[in-house]
């Protein structure tokens, strides 16, 4: 399975939003500048995330975006699934209606199906066990280590 730029950029932008949430509303231009991404592309991603209830938009001159819930309540798996769809290595496993003939004509007799299901379940378990708050803590930890290293250099 390959995560597209939409998934990668979306996750990075959500983490940036969480990092800067203490500043209140965060505008897309500042997220785009910090992350080195196109503001137009981030807008497309945030429209999807807003419809999914992950972010909220606030209109007006002082408008911007905020997380719709606490970062500890939003998982990496939720963000990636909203942006990418099911975290499945093969299409036939991703379908909830996978038992239909349209998904794969060999589904019922597939010798590798249990392997693909196990890969998807493991990936989903890991992604759903890591929250945006965890990624913010990881980021803050790496920043403090870099500051410490700069002090000694």
What is the residue range of 81's domain? 5-151
Q: Is residue 79 within a helix (H) or strand (E), and if so which, with residue range?
A: helix 76-84
- Residue 98: its pLDDT value, please? 45
Q: Which of 57, 105, 54 is nearest to 78 (CA)?
A: 54
Q: What is the pTM of this model?
A: 0.84
Rg (CA), the chain: 19
How far apart, in Å, are the Cα atoms of 56 and each of 47, 65, 120? 9, 6, 30
pLDDT range class, residue 113, cuts 50, 70, 90: confident
Number of domains the chain contains: 1
Q: Can you give the CATH number for the domain in which 106 is found?
A: 1.10.10.10
CB hemisphere CA count around 91 (13 angstroms)? 7
Please state, rounded to an integer, the average pLDDT across all residues of the chain. 87
- Residue 152: its pLDDT value, please? 45
């Amino acid at each position: 399975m390959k995560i597209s730029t939409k998934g990668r950029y979306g996750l990075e932008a959500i983490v940036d939003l969480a990092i800067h949430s203490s500043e209140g509303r965060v505008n897309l231009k500042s997220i785009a500048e910090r992350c080195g991404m196109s503001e137009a592309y981030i807008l497309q991603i945030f429209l999807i995330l807003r419809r999914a209830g992950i972010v909220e938009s606030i209109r007006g001159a002082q408008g911007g975006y905020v997380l719709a819930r606490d970062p500890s309540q939003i998982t990496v798996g939720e963000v990636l699934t909203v942006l990418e769809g099911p975290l499945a290595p093969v299409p036939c496993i991703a379908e909830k209606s996978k038992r239909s003939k349209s998904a794969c004509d060999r589904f019922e007799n597939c010798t590798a199906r249990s392997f693909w299901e196990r890969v998807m379940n493991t990936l989903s378990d890991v992604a759903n066990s890591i929250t945006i708050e965890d990624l913010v803590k990881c980021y803050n930890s790496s920043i403090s280590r870099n500051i410490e290293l700069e002090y000694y250099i």
